[in-house]
Amino acid sequence: MDNTIVKISHLWHRYGTAWAIQDIDFEINEFGVLGLLGSNGAGKSTTMNIMCGVLNQVKGNVTIGGFDMRENSIEAKKLIGFLPQNAPLYLDLTVNEYLTQCAHLRLIPRKEVEKAVDRAMAKCGVAHFRNRLISNLSGGYKQRVGIAQAIIHEPKLVVLDEPTNGLDPNQILEVRKLIKEIGEEKAVIFSSHILSEVQATCEQVKMIENGLMVFEDSMDAFNNYIEPDSLLMRMENPPLPEVLEVIPNITGVEVLSAKQFRVRFSPSTFVSEQLIEASVSAGWRLQELTLEKSSLDQIFAQLSNKTPNKK
């Protein structure tokens, strides 16, 4: 059984003479949260706008639930819920009035509108504010109302463009939790240029940089993209750094404190066993040996430089 919700094939778009995205290909399945990562101006919003039918691509195809976005755009759009970077809220309406209007715009049958509004408000945790003006809500609750309008018609695909932008830390945690809950039932695309947001929310990640797809895999694979080359080593009776430096495959030793060292080693080598054996034989009393993983910023920087020019 094919659970593919989104299929994007050889997608190209340009503004003037400059290509915004080039030869983008990917598929999205039925459930889960996929992170669309990239720096500002990388091509994320262009990709999502084309996917949601806001823009017409120069080349390539977008299929949503089996419907071609160009040939059957109305049927394709019925399957999509979209929250752009600036939430499309009417601030002078109450939450209930706004979501009722959204339900009508989404062609929900009149007799089912009230139920759909109640369901969306309950899911997004805004039911207790149903009679409050949207202008009087906090930033976090405004974003929740924006997400509620995106899911009110029970779409198969929910597209969220920078949904935590401008929120305080507590609001970000609440919105993350909500996105994960939605991802248990639907396919969700979470776009962000903030690495930690994608890491905390998404299971799969695709990275666009300079209009090109430079990475697509699981979040774990992204976190381990750069091969580790250093260890943190803590000892009760540490030796002089020079003693560690003569061990094969060790390329450098940095003293972090009286008892802690950062040990650098050649990639694709295994020095842990050598260090443990040396500690036991020399009485260093090893207390900690931790492999250092590359930071997200390092991975992002390396992938950002992996963008060959295409014509």
Block residue for tokens 């969700």: 188
Burial 62-89 (b: 16+ CB within 10 A, else e): bbbbebebeeeeeebbbbbbbbbeebeb
What mean pLDDT is reported for the chain?
Answer: 89
pLDDT at 24 > cutoff 50 = yes
Calpha distance 291→72 (Å, rounded): 52
pTM of the complete model: 0.75
pLDDT at 238 > cutoff 50 = yes
Domains and CATH numbers, the chain: 6-223 (3.40.50.300), 230-293 (3.30.70)
φ, ψ of residue 9 to 5 degrees: the values are: -125, 120
Cα 152 to chain centroid distance, Å, stands at 23
pLDDT at 198 > cutoff 90 = no
Calpha distance 55→37 (Å, rounded): 20
Amino acid at 297: D
Amino acid at 167: L
| pLDDT bucket at 311, cuts 50 / 70 / 90 | very low
SS3 56: coil
pLDDT of residue 166: 81
pLDDT at 160 > cutoff 90 = yes
Quote the strand ranges of the chain, DSSP E: 6-15, 18-28, 32-37, 59-64, 67-68, 80-83, 157-161, 187-192, 204-209, 212-218, 230-235, 250-255, 260-265, 286-291
More confident residue, 45 or 3: 45
pLDDT of residue 308: 46
pLDDT of residue 2: 62
Q: Which token pair is 58?
A: 């120069």
pLDDT at 14 > cutoff 70 = yes
Tell me how far CA of residue 257 lies from CA of 3, 27, 234, 254, 303, in angstroms. Answer: 54, 49, 9, 9, 33
pLDDT of residue 206: 92
For the chain, the distance separating the N- and C-terminal CA atoms, rounded to the nearest angstrom, is 37
More confident residue, 97 or 1: 97
Calpha distance 205→218 (Å, rounded): 6
